Amino acid sequence: MIHNRLSVFRAERGLSRKDVAEKVGVNPQTIGYLERGDYAPSVELALKLAAVFGVRVEDLFSLAPFAPLAKALRKSGEA
């Protein structure tokens, strides 16, 4: 299973599924499938999505579950 933070990045930027889908050339349903983990993106789609959000692919997709954001924020505040 591919884990992702698509919905987090999408919400942060105030984009709808339709907005994101138009930017990468897919159907809005595809974005929903990706967000729910029902579909794994191709390398090309993963790269396009990362470019839309201005992040590395690894920041958006992972083979392992992402740590909760609250935990990551606490950890970065300890530095």
Q: What is the DSSP string of 28-74?
A: HHHHHHHHHTSSPPPHHHHHHHHHHHTS-HHHHEESSPPPPHHHHHH
pLDDT of amino acid 79: 54
Q: What is the CATH number of the domain that holds 14?
A: 1.10.260.40
Q: How many domains does the chain have?
A: 1
Residue pair 61/2 in contact (Cβ under 8 Å)? The answer is yes
Please state, in angstroms and rounded to a whole number, the distance separating the CA atoms of residues 56 and 15: 19
pLDDT, tens digit, for every residue of 14-67?
999 999 999 999 999 999 999 999 999 999 999 999 999 999 999 999 999 988
pLDDT of amino acid 66: 87
Residue 68's pLDDT band (cuts 50, 70, 90): confident
Give the domain range for residue 29: 3-77
Residue 5's pLDDT band (cuts 50, 70, 90): very high
